[in-house]
Chains A and B, each alone.
Chain A
Amino acid sequence: AQSVTQPDIHITVSEGASLELRCNYSYGATPYLFWYVQSPGQGLQLLLKYFSGDTLVQGIKGFEAEFKRSQSSFNLRKPSVHWSDAAEYFCAVGGGQAGTALIFGKGTTLSVSS
């Protein structure tokens, strides 16, 4: 069965510092992977997606993620965090049985300190 694990519930990063949010997935074949961001009281916004090809994908707001098949990981990175990046981040996996929905991780809350 597909599953997604985000090991870090809460991370605090200083403004201007680099960021890496971890995501590990369980899936037998090549997965379709997504990162979403959610501001308080809002819906989820798609940051980036990986379907195939280049394992380093670029997204919006200066984010990127790297697919590592050997580690079953799809970690999200940003070289320099801004205060406005404080939010909750969700990793999701798809590509499984037809007629099913994406599987979401439980999320990582990012706080940015000044």
Chain B
Amino acid sequence: DGGITQSPKYLFRKEGQNVTLSCEQNLNHDAMYWYRQDPGQGLRLIYYSQIVNDFQKGDIAEGYSVSREKKESFPLTVTSAQKNPTAFYLCASSIGGYGNNQPQHFGDGTRLSIL
């Protein structure tokens, strides 16, 4: 079955450490997204990519970085510059390269915590 796989499900970060969250999709979708979810805040967009080798900052990109070298993969790196990284991170994908009128399909998330 097609879907989005996020790994790991739980991740712990030490102070000053960069960590990378994996997101892989086999839906043949062009667009991929990363959201951060905190209690009572809903989903906040970190980065999105409409096509391979291209991505744009979302509302809260500071302290994060991404790459899109393959259509199937959109890893998110939480850098040491992100001072409050503890959150639930969701990856999503959608059909089509441009326009935001398509439903997004979500992975099951990665919960990141600080040690």
Contact = CB atoms under 8 A, between A and B. Distances in A.
Interface in B42-58: 42-43, 45, 48, 50, 56, 58
Interface residues of A, number: 27
Contacts of B48: 101
B85 interface: no
Contacts of B101: 32, 51, 94-95
Interface in B83-115: 88, 90, 92, 98-109, 111
A84 interface: no
Nearest to B54: A99
A106 B42 contact: yes
Contacts, number: 68
A9 interface: yes
A43 B90 contact: yes
Interface string A2-41: 0000000100000000000000000000001010100001
Listed residue (A49, A101, A105, A107) with the most chain B CB atoms within 10 angstroms of its CB: A101
B19 to A, nearest CB: 19
Contacts of A104: 35, 42-43
A23 to B, nearest CB: 12
A109 to B, nearest CB: 9
Nearest to A48: B103
A99 B42 contact: no
Interface of A: 9, 32, 34, 36, 41-46, 49, 51, 90, 92, 94-102, 104-107
Interface of B: 4, 6, 33, 35, 40-43, 45, 48, 50, 56, 58, 88, 90, 92, 98-109, 111
18 contacts: A36-B106, A41-B88, A43-B108, A44-B43, A44-B90, A46-B103, A46-B104, A46-B105, A90-B42, A95-B99, A96-B100, A98-B98, A98-B100, A101-B33, A102-B100, A105-B42, A106-B42, A107-B42
